[in-house]
Chain A
Amino acid sequence: MKPGRLASIALAVMFLSMVVPARAATIQITMDNLVISPAEMSAKVGDIVEWINKDIFAHTATATNGDFDVALPPKKSATFVVKKAGTVDYYCRYHPNMKATLKVEP
């Protein structure tokens, strides 16, 4: 391989790192004493949503439109990568009085 080609590859790698968008953020949402907080949260497509269950009870984060159904055993957390934009209402299947909204921007 010619040194010139190597340099151009290096240059391409440099450019690539410049165009790649900012790293995906991790959005944390807690479930504590049967309350989801914050009850309304914004995220962007590609972000990671992490639900942290602080209760001694099992919960779920279940989208009403079927987009996600995340199991949250007692004192555990779980993540979900947001794939599409839109406003999604979700709740806990075991305790449907626990409700919240996730607003996903493109």
Chain B
Amino acid sequence: MFFRPSAAIAAAVLLSSPALLQGASAADKPTDPQIAHIAYTAGVIDINAAKHAMKKAKNKDVKAFAEDMVRDHEAVNKQALALVKKLNVTPEDNDTSRALSKQASDKLAELDKLSGAAFDKAYVQNEVAYHKAVNGALETQLIPSASNNELKSLLQTGLKIFQGHQQHAEHVAAELK
């Protein structure tokens, strides 16, 4: 079961190592309804983490970063919802989405125990790692597996946005040191 691509994506996100995805066989690649669900879930996770950070963060750049995450990920997810509606596709829950959500709630609980500068630093570091992992999954698994062109193109826009977020998070992390 571990080598199913959905599990591999989750593992990649957990370990921030997109290389793991390369072992997945093309035969069990995720379907479009599953890809839509994974991408949407990944966005929701970052929105939740950001809303949490908007309340807890002390540093103004960290707060501003969290606001940017809510704004951008909500915009992407709004587009994703409009697209699945248009294509008449029902996003399908799957092991990857479930693993992502579980991992995210564990991370949120972990961050919740921190406060002040320690929280700010841990949140931003997690944002760097999280975006890196999601970008790896998008590039190596989700985008190549998507069969509908509009879905593929939305994922490609998502990738560019999230690569921007990763760089932004890296800048904020560097400023905190």
Taking Cβ atoms with an 8 Å cutoff, the residues of A that contact B are 33-35, 56-58, 74, 92-98
Contact = CB atoms under 8 A, between A and B. Distances in A.
A58 B167 CA distance: 16
Contact of B164 (A34, A56, A74): A34
A81 to B, nearest CB: 27
Given A93-B168, A95-B165, A95-B168, A56 B160 contact: no
Q: B-side binding surface: helix, strand, loop or mixed? A: helix
B75 A74 contact: yes
Nearest to A59: B164
A57 B163 CA distance: 14
A31 B79 CA distance: 18
Given A34-B157, A57-B72, A97 B164 contact: yes
Contact of B79 (A56, A92, A93): A56
Interface string B145-177: 000000000000100110111011001000000
Given A34-B160, A56-B79, A92-B164, 11 more contacts: A33-B157, A34-B161, A57-B71, A58-B72, A74-B75, A94-B68, A94-B72, A94-B168, A95-B163, A96-B167, A97-B160
Q: A-side binding surface: helix, strand, loop or mixed? A: loop
Nearest to A94: B68
Given A33-B157, A34-B157, A56-B79, A96 B164 contact: yes
A56 B161 CA distance: 11
A91 B72 CA distance: 17
Interface of B: 68, 71-72, 75, 78-79, 157, 160-161, 163-165, 167-168, 171
A70 to B, nearest CB: 17
A97 to B, nearest CB: 5
A47 to B, nearest CB: 28
A95 B69 CA distance: 11
Contact of A96 (B72, B79, B171): B171
Contacts of A95: 160-161, 163-165, 167-168
A57 B168 contact: no
Contacts of A34: 157, 160-161, 164
7 contacts: A34-B164, A56-B79, A57-B75, A57-B161, A93-B168, A94-B168, A95-B163
Contacts of B163: 95, 97
Interface centre among A56, A58, A95, A98 (most CB of B within 10 A): A95
Given A33-B157, A34-B157, A96-B171, A58 B71 contact: yes
